[in-house]
């Protein structure tokens, strides 16, 4: 990339008169620099290493000592803004295939991804800069839908709601045996609720030529079962007739309620949602609302249930409950 183009792109001021007019790649890690590259100095202590590695240019947003007058020293108003502008330009050259995924499909994609031709972005822009700057041409990029990261990309795809071709052979609420692309997966610790989502991710990877492996599947913080006794102490899997199901993403609960009422209609079901969802939730007798964790505890201790689906909470909810009497009786087994 030519020096004048870089100056125009990042609105930079040249601090010297170098003989160098063109650069190779752009890096934010000094250890990645090769002869002819340009270094964006988020960390000023890395400048000397970048020069030793062969950097032809250094971009800074504060005063520094120019230890080598032969290379280009460029001053910008903000390193963050310069990085953003350079990254957008780089993404145009890379021609990535970009997909916005919901929280479940992104979790499952993270679980099964093996190929190096796909990267998953989480968190803010600057946490993802190393991944993006080291990405190769035609990379597949996955990021959370609704994320500010969307502003980086010109074209973004979403996963279509295709019919699942996963053949479920056997299932309980939290364990599934299934066939996918002629391969049998026995008793995976994942609910059949996730099968349509899993198929969308696998279909994406198949189409884009991304290597994946369905090993020990986990659904992250979604539809997470915890077996408990009468005083809400966690028990081993299957060792209680009461189960709390935690779902941090409340937007998924309507679909999960329908799943439970189809596949656990024989059981006593209750649903607990944040107060803010009262106007959005369907009318059901077993629907309760909370404004504090104390409200959740009160519902769980006064209602009879086999399965309690709790929205907007994770398993950590149990860790913050007041300590209980740990003595074992017939009433808290």
Q: Which of 32, 52, 23, 93 is nearest to 14 (CA)?
A: 23
What domains lie within the chain, and their CATH numbers? 3-86 (3.40.1390.10), 95-217 (no CATH), 224-319 (3.40.50)
Instruction: Tell me, yes or no, if the pTM score tops 0.85.
Output: no
Q: What is the pLDDT along the chain (333 residues), one digit of tens a residue?
A: 899 999 999 999 999 988 888 998 888 889 989 999 999 998 999 999 999 999 999 999 999 999 898 999 999 999 988 988 888 888 888 899 999 999 999 999 999 999 899 999 998 887 888 888 888 889 999 999 988 888 888 889 988 777 788 999 999 999 999 999 999 999 998 999 999 999 999 999 999 999 999 987 777 789 999 999 989 999 998 899 999 999 999 889 889 999 999 999 899 999 999 998 887 766 777 899 999 999 999 999 999 999 999 999 999 999 888 765 544 444 444
Distance, C-alpha 138 to centroid of its chain: 21
Say how far apart CA 313 and CA 292 lie, in whole Å. 11
Give yes or no for a contact between 102 and 145, defined as CB atoms under 8 angstroms apart: yes
Residue 296: in which H helix or E strand, if any?
helix 293-302
Sequence length of the chain is 333
């Amino acid at each position: 990339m030519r020096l004048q183009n870089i100056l125009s792109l990042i609105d930079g001021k040249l601090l010297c008169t170098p003989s160098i007019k063109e650069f190779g790649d752009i890096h934010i890690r000094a250890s990645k620099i090769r002869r002819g590259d340009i270094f964006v100095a988020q960390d000023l202590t890395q400048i000397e290493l970048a020069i030793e590695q062969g950097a032809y240019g250094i971009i800074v947003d504060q005063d520094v000592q120019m230890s080598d007058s032969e290379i280009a020293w460029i001053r910008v108003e903000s390193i963050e803004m310069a990085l953003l502008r350079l990254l957008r330009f780089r993404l145009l050259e890379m021609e990535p295939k970009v997909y916005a995924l919901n929280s479940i499909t992104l979790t499952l994609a993270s679980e099964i991804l093996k190929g190096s031709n796909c990267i998953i972005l989480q968190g803010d822009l600057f946490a993802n800069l190393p991944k993006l700057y080291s990405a190769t041409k035609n990379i597949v990029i996955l990021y959370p839908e609704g994320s500010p990261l969307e502003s980086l990309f010109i074209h973004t795809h979403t996963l279509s709601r295709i019919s699942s071709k996963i053949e479920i052979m056997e299932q309980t609420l939290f364990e599934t045996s299934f066939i996918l692309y002629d391969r049998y997966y026995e008793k995976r610790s994942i609910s059949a609720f996730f099968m349509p989502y899993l198929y969308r991710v696998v279909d994406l990877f198949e189409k884009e030529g991304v290597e994946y492996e369905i090993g020990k599947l986990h659904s992250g913080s979604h539809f997470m079962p915890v077996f408990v006794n009468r005083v809400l102490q966690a028990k081993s899997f299957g060792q209680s007739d009461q189960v709390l199901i935690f779902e941090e993403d409340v937007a998924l609960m309507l679909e999960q309620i329908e799943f439970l009422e189809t596949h656990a209609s024989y059981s006593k079901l209750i649903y607990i949602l944040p107060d803010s969802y009262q106007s959005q939730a369907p009318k059901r007798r077993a629907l309760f609302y909370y404004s504090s964790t104390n409200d959740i505890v009160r519902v769980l201790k006064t209602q009879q249930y086999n399965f309690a689906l709790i929205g907007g909470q994770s398993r950590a909810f149990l860790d913050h409950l007041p300590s209980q009497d740990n003595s074992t009786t017939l009433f808290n087994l």
